[in-house]
Amino acid sequence: MILRLIWEAIRNYAQVVLSFIFEPIFWIMFFILFFQYKRLESIQKDVYGVVKYKKMEMMASSLLAGILSGMFVSILITVFGITFGRLEGAIFIIILSLLLVMLFDSHFICLSYSGGIISLLSLILNFLNVRGIVNISQIPILRSFLNIDVTAILILVALLHLVESILMYFDGARFPVPMFFRKNNKIVGGFLLTRFWIIPLMILILLSLTPVSGDTIPTPDWWPLIRPDGMPKDLQDAVFSLTPLFAILGYGDFTISRLPKQKVKESSLNLFIFSITLFVLVVLSMKIYVFKYIAAIFSPVFHEFIIVLNRKKEKTLDSLWENTYDGIKILDVVPNSPAEKMGIETGDKIIAINNRRVNTLYDAKVVLDEADRYLWIDVVKIDGKVKSLEYYNYQTEIGSLGIITIPQEDEYIPVMDLD
C-alpha cells in the first residue's frame, strides 16, 4: 500500500514537471530568479573583472535541485497524508511571497512570512466573524480568508523549510560571490550567499467525503496523518486528489567570519530546528486551538529572529578576511588565473614569493615585476600550516597572480555597510 502511494506520487509528479513550463506562475518565478542571478553577475564583474558563475549556470542548478526536492516533498505529503481541505490558502501564500519580494527584500520570498501572515489574518477574521464583531462573510475581498485551512498551510510551510534546510546544506554554498564590507570603519572581505529554488510539488486536496466513481487508491487505516481543519474524525470514505502547486524558496546570507560552507551548515541547522519546531506547534494546534495563533506568529517572527541574530553574530565575530600587513590574505581567485592553477584558495595568506617576504600587495608587485616565468609561493593555509606552491609559464610572462584581496580604500569598489 505504501509502495503504491510512492509510485502514484512519482507518476503524478512527473506529469506536473512536464507541464511546468506552460504555467504562467513558472515564468513569473523564472524571471525573479533571472534578475536575482543577473545582479550577482554584475557584482562578480565589479570584483573579479570577469564572470565566474554565469546566471544560466546558477539557474539551471537551482531548477534541478528544486525539482528533486519537490519530488521528495510530494512523496512525503502523499505517503503520510498531509491533506488540505481547500486550495485557496496555498495560492494566497505563493502570491503574497512574490509580492513581498518585489516590494521589499529578496529574503521575504520565504514562505514563513507569507504563510504566517495569511494564517494569522485568517484566524483573526474568523474570530471577528464568529463573535459577530464584523460580518466578514458580507465583505467579498475578505470572505475567502474564512475558508483557509490554517493547519495545512503551516504544515506546508514547515515541510518546505525542512526541504530548504537540506537544500542549503548541500547546495547553499555552491556559488559564493566575494564582496567587500565596511565593519568598524574598516574594509573587510566576505561572501554573498544567494540561492533560489523553484519547487513544483503535489498536494492532497479533499475531493469528497463519500466514495466517487473512478480509479482510487486504498490507504492505511491511520491515513491521513494531518487532517483538514473542521473535517470529521472518520475519513475512511473520503477521497483526496493530488493537485499541482508551485513554490519558490530562497536563501540569502553573507559571511565575513567563516568560510561559506561553514556558514551555510550553521544556517541550515538553524532552519532545520525552525521547521521541526513549527511542525510540532502545528500538530499541537490540532488538539489545542490556541496553538494555531502561536504557530502563525512563530512562523514569520522566529524566522526573522534567526536572520537578525545571524547578522548580529557576523558583526561581533572577528573578520576572516582583512588587512593584517603580515602577508596577503586571499579572499578569492580569478577564474583561470595563475593563482587558481597553482592551488591558492580562499582563506590562504601569501607570505613569500620566490623566497622573498611579502607583506602587502605592493611587495608582491615588486617581486612579480622581477620574476621570470617561474614562481614558488609560500602560503599559510587556513589551518595554520605553511605550504609551498609552484607555477610556471614558459610561453608568456606571468603578469599578475589573479588574486582578490582586501583593498585599503573603497573609492572604486562596491561596499556593503555593516556599521
Q: What is the pLDDT of residues 56-108, one digit of tens each?
A: 999 999 999 999 999 988 898 888 888 877 666 777 887 888 788 777 777 77
How far is CA 271 from each of CA 243, 258, 276, 291, rounded to the nearest angstrom? Answer: 27, 18, 9, 20
The pLDDT of residue 16: 85
H or E element that contains 396: none
Q: Is the pLDDT of residue 400 over 70?
A: yes
Can you tell me the distance from the alpha carbon of 276 to that of 165, in angstroms, rounded to the nearest whole number?
A: 11
Pull the grid cell for residue 111.
514562505
pLDDT classification of 123: cutoffs 50, 70, 90: very high
pLDDT at 378 over 90: yes
Q: Which residues pair with 78 in a beta bridge?
A: none
Q: Give me the CATH code for the 328-417 domain, please.
A: 2.30.42.10
Alpha carbon distance 98, 32 (integer Å): 9
* Cα atoms in the 13 Å half-sphere on the side-chain side of 26: 16
Q: Work out the pLDDT band at 232, boundaries 50, 70, 90.
A: low
What number is the average pLDDT over the span 204-229?
A: 74
The pLDDT of residue 402 is: 87
User: 416, 355, 419, 418: which is closest to 178 by C-alpha?
Assistant: 416
- Residue 394: the pLDDT is 66
* Closest to 150 in 3D by CA, of 276, 274, 294, 275: 294
pLDDT in tens, 312-344: 888 888 888 888 788 899 999 988 888 888 899
Q: Which residues in the chain are classed under CATH 2.30.42.10?
A: 328-417
* pLDDT tens digits for range 137-165: 777 777 777 778 888 889 888 988 898 89
How sure is the predictor about 227, in pLDDT bands with cuts at 50, 70 and 90? confident
pLDDT band at residue 8 under the 50/70/90 scheme: confident
What pLDDT score does 215 carry? Answer: 67
Residue 213 banded pLDDT, cuts 50, 70, 90? low
pLDDT digits (tens, 9 = 90+) for 244-264: 888 888 888 899 999 999 999
Binning pLDDT at 50, 70 and 90, where does residue 396 land? Answer: low
Mean per-residue pLDDT of the chain? 84
Cα angle 385, 391, 392 (rounded to 5 degrees) comes to 160
- Place 271 in a pLDDT band, splitting at 50, 70 and 90: very high
Q: Classify each residue of 383-397 as buried b or exposed e, where b means 16 or more C-beta atoms within 10 Å of its C-beta.
A: eeeeeebebeeeeee
The SS3 call for residue 328 is strand
C-alpha to C-alpha distance for 34 and 49, rounded to whole angstroms: 21
Whether 212 shows a pLDDT value over 90: the answer reads no
**Confidence check: pLDDT of 191 > 90:** yes
CA separation for the pair 300, 309 (Å, rounded): 14
pLDDT tens-digit series, residues 19-61: 888 888 888 888 888 888 888 888 888 777 778 888 899 999 9
pTM: predicted TM-score of the whole model, two decimal places:
0.83
Hey, is 158 helix, strand or coil?
Answer: helix
The pLDDT of residue 179: 87
